[in-house]
Amino acid sequence: MTQMSKGSNVALTATGLRVELSWTAGPSTPDVDASALLVTGTGKVRSDADFVFYNQPRHSSGAVTHGGKSGTTDVVTVDTSRLEPAVDKVVVAASADGGTFGQVPGLHLRLTDTSGAELARFDITDATTETAFVFGEVYRRGTDWKFRAVGQGYATGLAGLATDYGISVDDDPAPAPAAPAAGPAAPAAAPASGVSLKKQKLVDMEKKVAARAPALLDLTKKASISLEKRGLGEHTAKVALCLDISGSMNRLYRNGSIQKLVERVLALGLRFDDDGEVDVFLFGKEGHTAGPLTLDNHAAYVQDVLSTHGLEPATYYGKAMALLREHYFGASTPRREPLRNDIPVYVMFVTDGQTFDEDGAREQVVSSSYEPLFWQFMAIGQSSRSVTPGRPAAPPAKSGGFMGKLRQAAAPQAPAGRGGEFRFLEELDDMGGRYLDNADFFAVENPADIPDDQLFDLLMTEYPGWLTQARAKGLLG
């Protein structure tokens, strides 16, 4: 075993490595959470997917995993034989929750091989006000691998560390550049007084709502406020709703909770969608295309769904997912090549239980990550990611992407779902092996209890960050 000091390095002969961060517990000791970043020769990660931590515990290559915390030890594992050629080093870091690293006694790193044999130890004795720390790095030197003891702290916290390694902590999309002035041969003139075409459509939409469905006007204004905070005031997207029609949903349909939710999704669709409609898909034992939800039919929409389809004695997520992908992209078969489009699809997916087709649903989500499609999963019931009615949503400046995952993982944890029925939805939210992270998940006991403005904020937690990544990776024009 090698006792290391800051800046020293040791050659590695083993390909399977276990990096343990340990400390001594005390009444006021902050909690420590280990993480890892896969870094290229530029000194930066390629994307947020190269950050491995407790809410994104496995890299898509399988080379780096967050092994989980046991008491006062947190573990990261590295298999150098599986690291991609573009990765030059794996940085092992940590954050302190509830204090600084100067308040964490006995802080040290142990490096072992897969048999448990200790290869090196690095004691941290000079931490003070830092709330994030780089402990060490597994790095490539020619065809060999070495480990270096780093011991660098960040008083600016995990956000400062993330910025240094190229992770964006503000994933809100930048405002679109102003369009060039149209020349004499332009096919159509822009609206007068500098008002964009989209803005004019929104004004016209509000007039239609006021005339034809005045009860929805307040909802559309609340949706507008949430979108404006995220730079999405004039954003255009297709909006779809996937509704569970299994028998266990009966009470929520009968007491009006689903009708209220449908109206709020329509309000979002009126702000987003280029045709002012929401496409609805149903799933129970089978999948169904239910027809568009509009201003004209919204008041009786749920009643009509129950009359036409009824409730079914099973739950198959994948059947509705397949119908939805066929509707927008022409196929529901596996996809592993990016598909570009000018308009994204935002999907609100609502269920109260587990699916019977996990493999099929998993494949649909992975395949759709290569398409401009974002899944917003909402479970009805208890989950480790349950939302408390009336609790303010996270600030919009930190929505989506890396920081969105951190906020979600650090949120107060509710009891596990009944029978673990939402374990799979949590898996879909965090799943590796996708072209990009195209899903978010939260749970509510009853959607009717969540205030309108809170719900709209929840629906936009990770979508803005996904938009940024989708544009960067060529899914959106």
CB atoms within 10 A of CB 27: 4
* CA-atom Rg of the chain in angstroms: 24
What pLDDT does 197 receive?
62
Q: Which of 197, 191, 167 is nearest to 398 (CA)?
A: 167
CB atoms within 10 A of CB 314: 15
Do residues 286 and 316 make contact, with C-beta atoms less than 8 angstroms apart?
A: yes
Place of tokens 């006694």: 105
What pLDDT does 181 receive?
39
User: How far apart, in whole angstroms, are the C-alpha atoms of residue 190 and residue 308?
Assistant: 44
> How far apart, in Å, are the Cα atoms of 415 and each of 91, 381, 394, 448, 455?
33, 11, 21, 21, 21
- Token pair, residue 118, equals 């200790």
- Token pair, residue 226, equals 């949430």
SS3 content of the chain, % helix, strand, coil (to 5): 35, 25, 40
Element (H, E) at 113: strand 108-113
Find residue 244's DSSP bridge partners: 283
What pLDDT does 31 receive?
85
Tell if the pTM clears 0.85, that is, is over it.
Answer: no
pLDDT beneath 50: ranges in the chain: 170-195, 393-401, 407-419
Q: Which of 184, 186, 118, 126 is nearest to 150 (CA)?
A: 126
Instruction: Identify the sign of the CA torsion 409, 411, 416, 420.
Output: negative
CB atoms within 10 A of CB 353: 21
What pLDDT does 68 receive?
81
